[in-house]
Structure 1
């Protein structure tokens, strides 16, 4: 009679252990049904599920494994598995897989415990937890550190909308971003990334900076804030703000452009996307004059933004058509995907305002970056705790895989 046994080996890791332990299994026609190995801080955890032809062979084999483990100063534990339990496990091979990613400056036990509880509450099972972020020193400044943990789960959530709502509530309460994605073919096969510019790639709303120079800063900033929250139609608000800039001397553009700061993580993100073969684009309701400067700094492939019309060195205050508004951004994402021969599932879109929501909804991975609550809640995913390169963790990229 066959025996199905789960063998767990633990102890101090060193070279050659896997070869030594699996070498013991060469006897008796053993079939390996499943295997997993992890090393954390020099401690080995090695599991191997084996199908052994009969009881006599099983007894002898497990004694040999125990002897070899003792020789290597390791601990061995055996768990018999019934054929019915194994069959149930094997039939679950086709179950849907998802990935839950936790992003924060530091991952705490409470964040992990409560996220895990939500996963369980909606009928899913955790299969693996891995750290994506690099090791950090104990004295690293918290505001400069990055922590990312990826949780692989099995099963379909009983109520995906309620699950997302619970994750959103946890994110707000515990200062952690929680992303929930299908672990499918597209997740690691995306090839086009598009970005809003103002307050996404750069740490400013350029139209507000222009307004300050024109002496209408507070008036324009108030309109911008309401538009980004989704309280005003972007096209109408843009036209209204542009009219307030009428007469501004174009000489201020160079000064404002020189003062713009890239968002935390932008340079690292674009370096990695380029290394991975992505095409990138700016789809901005801001202005092409500044977008082309950002393009040059980050090596971006495409730029679509609004034009600043000037006559005799003064801005006319006219909104030049076509205006890059929410609908136009979504259209441009579709057009670029077609041009690059990609499915929309292979695209990434990142933005912070309500006018970014249509393109975030269309993209395979839509990320609200440091956005207002309404935008964060409406987008598929959100990053508020880390820099822009936190997007790489949502692709499953580990820091150790990144370019040095």
Structure 2
């Protein structure tokens, strides 16, 4: 039989007492408006067992709007579930986890209910120690096959300044490795890059070593490589939405200005670029570096400097990256989002998204799919 969406009204606690499972489409819970939670499940009437606790729940008396407006965040914490295939079992595990923290759920909004993506934002009240709870969220996320993002309630708003790493963050490649492939030393340079991004090598020293290996690389090849660099999934809509929101964006890259400026002028809505300059002589790379090298400390310093120049508190600043040299700036502002990060970075970054593209960051600003679509139409 075809799956049907079953909408149920029930106390939130009743969900945790259920025993069955089914795909989950939405959950809305706003005690200030209605005491009962609104739960939407896909039920195959041929074989699905939702458990007695749910089959006894009251069916919805009115149709659910396609995209309900998200409620204002008033709680001290938000915990966002981003699942490629949300289920009732995932929801139960999440509610049990919250109860185990000694916290209470004060509201739930469904920010996305696509076939391939369900996003639930839970507002939490309670005294939470951020770092150990964040790490516990990472563990639970692995167990249930989803992303779980913890943040303070006041960070659930669009930023005014966003700093982005470039390689493996905005683009799905490490440019220095691409240059090395052309010169026949791709594996050698890639191994150094990977170790540096995992935090096993000092970035400055590894960068100098890789540049020496690239001595003699022809300058004319840059124009051929730049258009071939693949964008990271979700990069273009995220940057467009941020521009529509009035947020200033900056690339802060340990890569190269040539490619960052190409992205800025041809492919992405980026306002400012800070990266490393390539030094050429007689049409070929010299193998030397031009100071200052944009390493992890420099990224953080630049992002903080830009915020000061804009007159912004750091609470209105976010950073997005993937490697160990991004950790300093990820810990600077209101949000530090690691996207498809290396293991060390996943453990240390304040927020982490593993299973979705860059545009999933928009949910962490309190936006739902309807609002995001409106921003993209404007942008």
Matched, 1:100 2:71: no
Which residue of structure 1 aligns with residue 304 of structure 2? 334
More helix by share: 1
Aligned to 1:124: 103
2: CA distance, partners of 1:286 / 1:349: 17
1:2-42, CA deviations, whole angstroms, 9 ceiling, x for partnerless residues?
xxxxxxxx79xxxxxxxxxxxxxxxxxxxxx954488777x
Alignment-derived partner of residue 369 in structure 2: 399
Q: Which residue of 2 aligns with 1:314?
A: 284
Q: Structure 1 residues 286 and 367, CA, compared in 2 at 3 Å: closer, same or farther?
A: same
User: Partner residue of 2:137?
Assistant: 167
Match of 2:46 in 1: none
**Are residue 287 (structure 1) and residue 256 (structure 2) matched?**
yes
Q: State the Cα distance separating 1:208 from its structure 2 match.
A: 0.2
Could you give the per-residue CA deviations for residues 323-367 of structure 1, whole angstroms, max 9, x where no partner exists? 000000000110110111111110110000000000000121001
Give the aligned partner of residue 150 of structure 1.
121
Question: Within the alignment, does 1:350 sit opposite 2:320 as a pair?
Answer: yes
Contact 2:219-2:284 within 8 A present in 1 as well: yes
Cα distance in 2 between the residues matched to 1:309 and 1:125 = 57
Aligned twin of 2:180: 211
C-alpha displacement at 1:161, in angstroms? 3.1
CA contact (8 A) 1:96 1:156 kept: no
Any idea what SS the aligned residue of 1:272 has? Answer: helix
Distance between the aligned counterparts of 2:101 and 2:118, measured in 1? 25
Q: Secondary structure at the match of 2:311?
A: coil
For each residue in 1:138-197, what CA deviation from the matched residue of structure 2 results, as whole angstroms up to 9, or x when unmatched? xxxxxxx3221111111222x43332221111222333111111112x431521111000
Between 254-263 and 127-136, report the one with greater CA deviation: 127-136
Aligned in 2, Cα 1:34/1:308: closer, same or farther, shift over 3 Å?
A: closer
Q: Partner of 1:324: helix, strand, or coil?
A: coil
Larger Rg: 1
After TM superposition, the score normalised by the length of structure 2 is: 0.79
* Pairing 1:115–2:86 present: no
Query: Tell me, what secondary structure is at the counterpart of 2:156?
Result: helix
Distance in 2 separating the partners of 1:165 and 1:278:
29
Equivalent position of 1:198 in the other structure: 167
Q: Per-residue CA shift, 1:127-147, capped at 9, x if unaligned?
A: 2222101443xxxxxxxx322
- Please give the residue correspondences for 1:235-314 in structure 2 after superposition, counting only pairs within 5 Å: 235-296=204-265, 297-314=267-284
Question: In the alignment, is residue 176 of structure 1 matched against residue 155 of structure 2?
Answer: no
Mean Cα displacement is larger for which, 127-136 or 297-306? 127-136
- Structure 2, gaps ≥5 residues long: 1-8, 11-30, 41-59, 63-73
Question: TM-score under structure 1 normalisation?
Answer: 0.74
Aligned length: 315
C-alpha distance in 2, partners of 1:291/1:104?
A: 32
CA–CA separation in structure 2 for the residues paired with 1:96 and 1:129: 11
Call closer, same or farther: CA 1:323–1:295 in 2, change over 3 Å: same
Instruction: Report the secondary structure of 2:251's partner residue.
Output: strand
Counterpart-to-counterpart distance in 2, 1:121 and 1:160: 15
1:214-261: CA deviation from partner (whole Å, max 9, x where unpaired): 111111000000000000000000000000000011121111111101
